Amino acid sequence: MTLEINGIVAGYGGEPVLHGIDLAVGVGELVAVLGASGSGKTTLLRVVAGLHRPDAGTVHLGGDDVTGLAPERRRVGLVPQEGALFAHLTVARNIGFGLVPPGLARLRRPAGARASARARVEEMLELVGLTDKADRMPHQLSGGERRRVALARALAPRPQVVLLDEPFSALDSGLREQVRGEVVEALRAAGGTAVLITHDRREALSVSDRVAVLHAGRLEQTAEPRELYAGPATARVAGFVGDAALLPATAAGDRVRTVLGPALRRPGVTPDGSVLAVLRPEQLRITDADGPEGRPGTVERVEFVGDALLVTAQPDGGPAVRVRAEPGAGWRAGDRCRLYTDGPVHVVPVP
Amino acid sequence: MVAALASIPLVWLFVRVGGASTDRVAELLVRERTVTLAVNSAVLVACVSAGCLVLGLVTATLLARVRLPRPGLWWVLAALPLAVPSYLLSFAVLAISPTAQGLGPLVLVLVLACTPYVTLPAAAALRTADTGPEDAARTLGRGALAAYCRVTLPQALPAALAGTLLAALYTLSDFGAPAMLRYESFTWAVRAAYEGSIDRTAAAVTALVLAALTLLLVVAERVARRRFTRARATTAVRRVPPVRLGRAGTALAVGGLSVVAAVTLLGPPAALIARIVRAGGVDVDWARLVSAAWSTLMLSGAAALLAVALAVPVGVLAARYRGRTVSAVESLSYLGQGLPGVVVGLSLVFFSLAVLPGLYQTAVVLVFAYAVLFLPKAIGATRSAVERVPPEVEEVSRTLGRSARATWWAVTARQAWPGVATGGLLVMVTAMKELPATLMLRPTGVDTLATLLWGRTAVASYGAAAPAALALLVVACVPAALLVRAGTSREERS
């Protein structure tokens, strides 16, 4: 099912938190909404779920306007931060919660409904790999298992869209990647349309089909992960989705000139003239001071991160940049060096 | 609606006072006696509150953080004084020393009776307190005790202060103990004014001042609570390993707890039995005793049900939607406890005569009086129980196709009911001990254990009062024990 958000303005009485958000999510697509805390990403999710009423704008699910619809009638699946499992129900009954009609209506349901609900719970347990834990209580589960139950519970009633609200943020970093992998795999297997809220750029880039960058209640850019990383629209997005040095530069046609010398310009929409060059650590090279190419400079700081050496160096007459070097290279603070760019350079307007 | 019901007594007070001439009211208000009474009551409340807070926090610390032999036993012993009416303790004091009277013995009695109000919530809060900051404080150079007192104890302070408020309200509205120990508090004066003259304006004015004092207490507690940050809402709770005190320390802790428990719990029955023995045995009117016990159970049980029914909407509002109006409704509901039983009793006599004459002197009015009086206990319990259910869980339920109402029944109520039931039990225990309102409102010919006891002690036949008192103790201990079990088992599960 598709999700379409148009011109959403929302807030809590005072200044709006969201200033006109437009976002479309296609069938089976996983879109990550990436933003710092306070950017309004949780409010956006609550608007989509129907838990928060927007001041303006519309939400369409599968083509139908659901803006005024109560959350229980929208058919959205919600996976909150720490899972928020029903502490008084077993894993199986948590998953089946959305399949059981509320109150006395459950007594009137046709004979087949009970069996089909049970089959669906089985199916979901299998999907998230928890068949043997069906009768556990939530407090007997590990953090990762709780997330998976929460996902299974959200998916069981076949929602039109699944909303994930930073579901992995409270997990340890090692566990996080594993749980993320399991959850996203299950989500993909179910073929669901999904929106993932996160403040973790690696998470956003690695699991989603498209990333929407939210800043101060406005969407700065929505693009596929690779495009977003290589061709950010603004300086803020450039810094937000990855490590980058922003060097003052002059652009003219397909050429761009920085303190590190001339380079080929990556095609883009930024007008010629005074711009900022976005230089990722892996786009920069560092060589011995007596090398033939590049701008002379001084090494300021060296960080060893295992598979690489991150060297912070200051080119003479320019601001410091971070360079990704071979892990075996012997750089020390204070060394003289030469710095240059490798490959086309992307530029953004000066903010 | 609930607030309106809860404020019937107060409204009646205003009507009474408003109906009197202004000169008379002013004359009553400014006379020296009012000032004396106010000072007396303030001194009493201050002493009892301080005593309860200190004794309660010490006891809570021992219960929650110290390794004691038979830990479950101490929890029960710490909670059981809830079942002992203050007038029974006073009676024990009088039985031991017939000349005892005044502030000292009264403070002792009320501190012993009211400390569980502080101990239980504080101990529960300490058990689930975040010990991370305490560890940090230790690494920053504080000693174990200093770190505990500066860092962890403040986390339990909101709970302890809420408990202290209950203790203070109990003290302010207690009638039996001050009457028996001859201390001129407000409640005592109100009743004296009601009984001593036909001019009820004097009593109404005195009661109104008392209500104002209550409001002051509630506001003071609010302000104090706001200064300490609210309990954090993390879901992962680590059980704190209890501290070993060493042989001497453990002996001291056990000894201290035992003395307090023995004085409170064994004192009254011992004194009662001593009385019976001295009187050379008594003829027990078994039929009357059994019927009184039965009506005590029925009335307090019905009161508990009604109080919970009234408290749930207010408690849910207070837990979920903080706001000016909700705060006001909650505060208003607290008034019941500050108003002495006599005032609630008489106001309801008038109210039922004027509005629903058919109900006058029926169990319905008495049960309603209990519910109004003890609503705060049920509301407090409901609020904290509902606050423990994370709102996200309700939101998930909404997205899974349940309406707000269906979510409440399927999720919130299911998770919160132990807490709500605890509130109901608290109401029941307290209603069993209630004396003044019961005296005024009970249906003709019906005795509860409390009125049976009072009837005998009023004519100073202490020996004859003993069987009723013992029965009251036994009956009241049942829900108190249940209460403790519900509390401890819930904590162990989480």
Which comes out higher in pLDDT, residue A43 or B103? A43
pLDDT for A267-318, tens place per residue? 888 888 899 999 999 999 998 888 788 889 999 999 988 888 899 999 988 8
CB-CB neighbours of A154 under 10 Å: 29
B281 touching A, CB under 8 A? no
Structural domains of chain A sorted by starting position, each given as residue range(s) with its CATH number in brackets: 3-230 (3.40.50.300), 243-349 (2.40.50.140)
Distance CA A5, CA A18 (A): 12
Is pLDDT at A30 greater than 90 in this prediction? yes
Give the contacts of B210 (CB within 8 A, at least 6 positions apart): B41, B172, B173, B186, B187, B190, B338, B339, B340, B343
Which comes out higher in pLDDT, residue A119 or B176? A119
Q: What percentage of residues in chain A have a pLDDT greater than 90? A: 36
Residues of chain B in contact with residue A77, where contact means CB-CB under 8 angstroms, are: 399-400
Distance CA B455, CA B458 (A): 5
Task: Give the pLDDT confidence score for residue B232 in this predicted structure.
Answer: 42
What is the widest separation between alpha-carbon atoms in chain A?
85
Give the residue carrying structure tokens 């409640």.
Answer: B187
Is pLDDT at A222 greater than 90 in this prediction? yes
Task: Give the pLDDT confidence score for residue B311 in this predicted structure.
Answer: 82
Distance CA B75, CA B161 (A): 20
Instruction: Using DSSP bridges, classify how beta strands A30-34 and A194-198 pair: parallel, antiparallel or unpaired.
Output: parallel
Distance of CA A350 to the CA centre of its chain: 25
Q: For residue B448, what are the CA distances in angstroms to B49, B297, B303?
A: 30, 9, 14
Candidate from B390, B403, B409 with C-beta closest to A84: B390
Instruction: Using DSSP bridges, classify how beta strands A336-341 and A295-304 pair: parallel, antiparallel or unpaired.
Output: antiparallel
Q: Is A330 helix (H, G, I), strand (E, B) or coil?
A: coil
Q: How much of chain B is helix, strand and coil, in % rounded to 5? A: 80, 0, 20
Give the contacts of B80 (CB within 8 A, at least 6 positions apart): B116, B261, B264, B265, B477, B480, B481, B484
| Residue A178 binned pLDDT confidence (cut-offs 50, 70, 90) | confident
Distance CA B85, CA B174 (A): 10
ipTM of the complex: 0.72
Distance CA A97, CA A78 (A): 13
Task: Give the pLDDT confidence score for residue B383 in this predicted structure.
Answer: 80
By the 10 Å C-beta count (0-12 exposed, 13-18 middle, 19+ buried), B374 is classed as buried
Closest CA to A81 of A143, A184, A162, A168: A168
Give the contacts of B302 (CB within 8 A, at least 6 positions apart): B363, B367
Candidate from B395, B411, B493 with C-beta closest to A86: B411
Rounded mean pLDDT of A176-180? 83
Give the residue carrying structure tokens 């005592």.
Answer: B188
Q: Which residue of A has its CA nearest to B393?
A: A84
Which comes out higher in pLDDT, residue B213 or A233? A233
- The DSSP bridge partners found for residue A271 are none
B490 touching A, CB under 8 A? no
CB contact under 8 A, A82 and B235: yes
Is pLDDT at A231 greater than 70 in this prediction? yes
Closest CA to B448 of B275, B292, B226, B338: B292
Residues of chain B in contact with residue A109, where contact means CB-CB under 8 angstroms, are: none
Average pLDDT, chain A: 88
Task: Give the pLDDT confidence score for residue B234 in this predicted structure.
Answer: 42
Q: How much of chain A is helix, strand and coil, in % rounded to 5? A: 30, 35, 35
Residue B490 corresponds to which tokens in the numbers above?
């819930």
pLDDT for A56-79, tens place per residue? 999 999 889 999 888 888 888 888
CB-CB neighbours of B70 under 10 Å: 10
Closest CA to B175 of B349, B392, B373, B435: B435
Cα dihedral A291/A294/A298/A299 (nearest 10): -80
Residues of chain B in contact with residue A103, where contact means CB-CB under 8 angstroms, are: 406, 409
A153 touching B, CB under 8 A? yes
By the 10 Å C-beta count (0-12 exposed, 13-18 middle, 19+ buried), A24 is classed as middle
Closest CA to B212 of B379, B331, B325: B331
| Residue A22 binned pLDDT confidence (cut-offs 50, 70, 90) | very high
Rounded mean pLDDT of A35-42? 88
Candidate from B392, B402, B414 with C-beta closest to A72: B402
Rounded mean pLDDT of A143-157? 88
A324 touching B, CB under 8 A? no
Task: Give the pLDDT confidence score for residue B231 in this predicted structure.
Answer: 43
Q: Which residues of chain B have pLDDT under 70?
A: 1-10, 12-13, 15-32, 98, 128-144, 146, 150-151, 194-201, 221-222, 224-248, 276, 279-285, 321-340, 342, 346, 349-350, 353-354, 457-465, 475-476, 478-494
